[in-house]
Amino acid sequence: MTERTKLKSSKRWVVKIGSALLTNDGQGLDISRMQTWVKEMSTLIDDGVDLCLVSSGAIAVGLRTLQIDRRPQELPKLQAVAAVGQMGLVQAWQSCFAACGRETAQVLLTHEELADRKRYLNARDTLKTLSQFGVIPVVNENDTIATDEIRFGDNDSLGALATNLLEADVLVILTDQDGFFDKDPRVHPEAALIPEARALDDGLLGMAGKEGGMLGRGGMYTKIMAAQQAARSGAMTVIANGRVDGVLEQLRAGDLVGSLLYPDLKPQAARKRWLASHKQTRGVLVVDAGAAEALKAKGRSLLPVGVIEVRGVFDRGDIVAIETSNGERLATGLVNYGSTQAEEMFGKTTKQLNHSQLLMEGNALVHRDNMALV
């Protein structure tokens, strides 16, 4: 079975639609296009697909409603704009789905809520129960209460998180481009579309760049990051042009539309999916090249000897990031020692730590069973 063919039999989809598409590049909600997508999503549901919609657009709609030309930088203004826009956005989706005889539910999420394991599981159970009732969840970031530290940063990331929460088979990211290109086609006319690739191919992020548009917070870079996160739970990602008529139905049929980024590893266990989903952490353990290699290539636990710096204040059991000296995040995990103890331990061998009686909770700062590579 080819990767495209798997789309025909996949049972659970998350569809993420970006701000530029929803608002026709900032001109206001494109109700006609929304109705078209809803009809296509309804066809998928009739074909046996459990579907979750991740919708951007609250801030873009709020900007239009309040007649503001540019996205505010001040957080209170941004939250106020989102609060105004969220009303119009949800009402529009509800109206479109109701016309197809479908019920919807609004689900707002923040990283702070999902950093707690119990809340994470509650969110997952709620989304799955809505699906059992035949209700389509419309998921968005809770911009009206989010802060700089807990904001998802882009709804591509939110789409990947919803994919992990639901253990979905497919994440579809609808954008204003035909897919993922080896260069930015807006700048390089010779750019070539990549129809299929391994989601975890190290070269993809380099091709993507980091620039987004005025309305949204993401670009192709965040879409590749989302695809990689989804791949770790065993899901494939398709990046496709939402303005192509019948795009979702074509994808369901296995047609060569957009770019398909497929997983090539076994899905992470549920606990590790939760760990991998965190952008907000209590601290950082900076590791040397040897430790980085041991984590990435050999699946080892993180020992104190491989740590070269401890940042932040954290307690035993908190979630910390594991990064290289140049800031590349390698993993997140539950730490066995608080920051004060970790400061005393890092850079020392197990023999040295045993001699000084510092190893009270095992010889690893982060055990591999409590760690998820990102």
Chain-centroid distance, C-alpha 162: 7
Name the residue with tokens 């209700």: 135
pLDDT score, position 215: 39
Residue 5, judged by CB atoms within 10 A of its CB (0-12, 13-18, 19+), counts as exposed
The answer to whether residues 261 and 195 touch, using CB atoms and an 8 Å cutoff, is: no
- Regions in the chain scoring below 70 on pLDDT: 1, 26, 112-113, 143-154, 210-218, 268, 270, 279, 358, 361
The answer to whether residues 322 and 365 touch, using CB atoms and an 8 Å cutoff, is: no
How would DSSP label each residue in 291-334? Answer: HHHHHHHH---B-GGGEEEEEE---TT-EEEEEETTS-EEEEEE
CA distance 3 to 264: 11
| pTM of the shown model | 0.78
pLDDT score, position 270: 65
Which residue ranges form the domains of the chain, and what is each CATH number? 3-272 (3.40.1160.10), 281-373 (2.30.130.10)
How would DSSP label each residue in 114-133? Answer: HTSHHHHHHHHHHHHHHHHT
**What amino acid is encoded at 68 in this protein?**
I
Q: Per-residue pLDDT tens for 172-221?
A: 999 988 999 988 887 888 889 999 999 988 889 888 876 544 334 447 88
CA distance 39 to 45: 10
Q: How many CB atoms lie within 10 A of CB 43?
A: 15
